[in-house]
Amino acid sequence: MGAAFRLNAIIVGMTQSRALPDLTGQTLGTVTLLQKIGEGSMGVVYRAFQNTLSRPVAVKVVFRNKLNKLFTPERFRQEAEVVANLLHSNIITIFEFGEQPDFMYFVMQLVDGISLSQWLKQKKKHPLPRKRLPSLDDMIHLADQVLEVLSFAHKEGVVHRDIKPENLLWIERNRKVMVADFGLAAVYHTIYDEEKAFILGSPLYVSPEQARGEAVDGRADLFSFGCVLLELTLGFLPVKVERPERIFQTRAKESPDMFTGMAHDHSPAVPRIWSEFIARSLQAKREQRFTGAEQMLAQLRNLAPGLRALEAAGALEPPVFPPPYNGPTLPGANFPGRPAGTVPPGQPKKPGETGPGPSTGPAFTGS
């Protein structure tokens, strides 16, 4: 692991920049921009109306002056083509791609949902403590859909590379998950020379191999999704509050300090079998994770009936929910961090202090 790696990282959503121009009211090709609904470091997302087909859509505008030598106009065109050909009911569809002198834009399917980070924030405000985290049934239902998408994309030769709560949208009325923003997606065997000098991904969810700037396969997405499941299970992601480059270094070196513990270590109320399932996806060495999304999905479906039966029978105690934290917030994160080395009161400070730690995988051999 001693090879040097460069930390001129592309950290999506973390760049602090000046306010981007507001294009509300303008018409771009077939669409009229109605309302700004989101903003990142390189562009803005609008609710819009497609005049030719009389339907609401979303439009993502990316400004050329916010691009660098890696995220070029050519790269965005290629990504638009990749996603436009990923036809799946849980992937946000791209309808159109256009260019203007100062920006490029994508016309996309408008989803009436909220990101998982927003969903978790809403849950935490529930007056009943036992309702402040997603149910096991919801997490299993959600994970099944996301793993279906990842299995499909990986078979098509596409790795998402930026799976995180902000890129997973939850539609409450039908409990459907939509996977968004394949903006960092890579097609297997396609090499962008400039990428070798950059780290792609979001630091809290990036896999060790991504943090080293290595070529990745679908197992990198499984690591990132494991981080999402861990956060949904506990209500927070158990990592130390550190600068982004330090997080990258910790991940790149496959340090045992990547996390302060797994789900059952922080909350014994979490079923050990669910904690071990998540832990396998979070193994530092990708060879020790699930072989792919298809295997992880098969294992999930194998565990689901027993977990749901436990929950339905009321055999599970409410998880230990961390008290509100008013300390520093990790830069770029949409949830509060915790001071280095701290965990919820009454819980072990290190994995394994109250019983065996998470499994490294033997319990899940074969599927």
The predicted-structure confidence for 287-308, as pLDDT tens digits, reads as follows: 999 999 999 999 999 999 999 9
Q: Strand 55-63 to strand 103-108: parallel, antiparallel, or no bridges (unpaired)?
A: antiparallel
Residues 6+ away with beta carbon under 8 Å from 131? 123
CB 325 within 8 A of CB 241: no
Task: Flag whether pLDDT at 13 surpasses 60.
Answer: no
203-224 pLDDT, tens digit each: 889 999 988 888 889 999 999 9
Closest CA to 259 of 291, 216, 230: 230
Place 49 in a pLDDT band, splitting at 50, 70 and 90.
very high
Residues serving a catalytic function are 162
Residue 317: what pLDDT?
67
Residue 319: what pLDDT?
57
Where does the chain hold its CATH 3.30.200.20 domain(s)? 10-108
Where does the chain hold its CATH 1.10.510.10 domain(s)? 114-361
**Spacing of C-alpha 153 from chain mean position:** 15
More confident residue, 186 or 275: 275
Indicate the average pLDDT of the chain. Answer: 78
Place 344 in a pLDDT band, splitting at 50, 70 and 90.
very low
96-138 pLDDT, tens digit each: 889 898 898 989 999 989 999 999 999 999 898 888 899 999 9
CATH topology of domain 10-108: Phosphorylase Kinase; domain 1 (3.30.200)
CATH topology of domain 114-361: Transferase(Phosphotransferase); domain 1 (1.10.510)
Place 47 in a pLDDT band, splitting at 50, 70 and 90.
very high
More confident residue, 320 or 237: 237
Q: Write the secondary structure of the chain as one string of H (helix), E (strand) and C (coil).
A: CCCCCCCCCEECCCCCCCCCCCCCCCEECCEEEEEEEEECCCEEEEEEEECCCCEEEEEEEEEHHHCCCCCCHHHHHHHHHHHHCCCCCCECCEEEEEECCCEEEEEECCCCCEEHHHHHHHHHCCCCHHHCCCCHHHHHHHHHHHHHHHHHHHHCCEECCCCCHHHEEEECCCCEEEECCCCCCEECCCCCHHHHHCCEECCCCCCHHHHCCCCCCHHHHHHHHHHHHHHHHHCCCCCCCCCHHHHHHHHHCCCHHHCCCCHHHHCCCCCHHHHHHHHHHCCCCHHHCCCCHHHHHHHHHHHHHHHHHHHHCCCCCCCCCCCCCCCCCCCCCCCCCCCCCCCCCCCCCCCCCCCCCCCCCHHHCCC
Residue 334: what pLDDT?
37
